[in-house]
Amino acid sequence: MENKNSLYLVLTIILIILSAVGGYFLFNIYQDRNSSNYTSSTVPKIELIPTDTIEKTTDEDTSISFEVITPTVTKTTSIASATATPKLTVTPSPSVIPTTSKDIVLYENKEDGFSVSHTNQRIIHQDSEPSGNRYTFVNKSGNFAIHVSPTGKWSWTHPDRQFTTTLLVSGQKTFRYDIATQTIIDLQSDSKNYTLQCIHNGLESLKTECDQFVSSFQLL
């Protein structure tokens, strides 16, 4: 009798373990499916505004204090230099950007006067922000965005926005700002200001995709 009770106890424990494992896998499958179903309510907004607590940092080369910004209002990020504008080197990578035309999508927006190419793995979400229009190219690994504002207005604040020829985008001078998790590039047309933002989270594959995204940007 005691042996039977022991057998029932062992079987019960095995059944509980199997049920827990099955439930875990079902939960992961459900989460994966939901992560690809982006809607206007699930797409995170990319905010480019200063944080409530702004950390002052000094550029050793110029001794100029500047404000460090982050894409959210809950975290402050420090970088060594806000004015460095390294050259943008585009290195094609078949594993990141497929070379076949069917995998690359050309997006054109005549209202805001630009076009850009992106992978077909990204979903475009358009909405507005206080400074103008925002176009988010959604991917769960890291979103890219284009912010469009009228002349005299920008989607984010920087005290020393200087445009140089170090990187030309659509033939225009740019201002480039890099931190560990993202790259921000500003450029201007005759009537609008554009900010290209890549949330790459430090991933080399997304940095490469960002380079190609930026180089494909054209003013119409």
**Residue range 174-193: average pLDDT?**
95
Spatial separation of the C-alpha atoms in residues 180 and 43, rounded to whole Å? 22
Q: What is the pLDDT of residues 33-53, one digit of tens each?
A: 444 454 444 444 555 443 333
What is the CATH classification number for the domain harbouring 190? 3.40.1000
Determine phi and psi for 97, rounding to 5 degrees: -115, 105
Question: Do residue 28 and residue 60 come from a single domain?
Answer: no
Question: Do residue 164 and residue 207 come from a single domain?
Answer: yes
Question: Do residue 138 and residue 190 come from a single domain?
Answer: yes
Question: Residue 208: is its pLDDT beyond 90?
Answer: yes
User: The domain containing residue 13 runs over which residues?
Assistant: 1-35
Question: Do residue 72 and residue 135 come from a single domain?
Answer: yes
Q: What is the pLDDT of residues 87-115, one digit of tens each?
A: 443 333 333 333 456 788 999 999 999 99
Q: What is the pLDDT of residue 41?
A: 45
Do the beta carbons of residue 173 and residue 187 sit within 8 Å?
A: yes
Q: Tell me the chain's radius of gyration from C-alpha atoms.
A: 23
Q: What is the pLDDT of residue 6?
A: 67
Question: Do residue 15 and residue 94 come from a single domain?
Answer: no
Q: What is the per-residue DSSP string for the chain?
A: -HHHHHHHHHHHHHHHHHHHHHHHHHHHHHHHHHHT---TTTSPP---B--SSPPEEE-TTT--EEE--BSSSS-----S-SS----------TTTS-SSGGGEEEEEETTTTEEEEEETT-EEEEEEETTEEEEEEE-TT--EEEEEEETT--SS--TT---EEEEEETTEEEEEEE-SSEEEEEEE-SSEEEEEEEE-TT-HHHHHHHHHHHHH-EE-
Q: Is residue 140 part of a domain?
A: yes
Question: Do residue 12 and residue 85 come from a single domain?
Answer: no
Question: Do residue 207 and residue 138 come from a single domain?
Answer: yes
Q: How many domains does the chain have?
A: 2
Q: Tokens for 79?
A: 């970088």
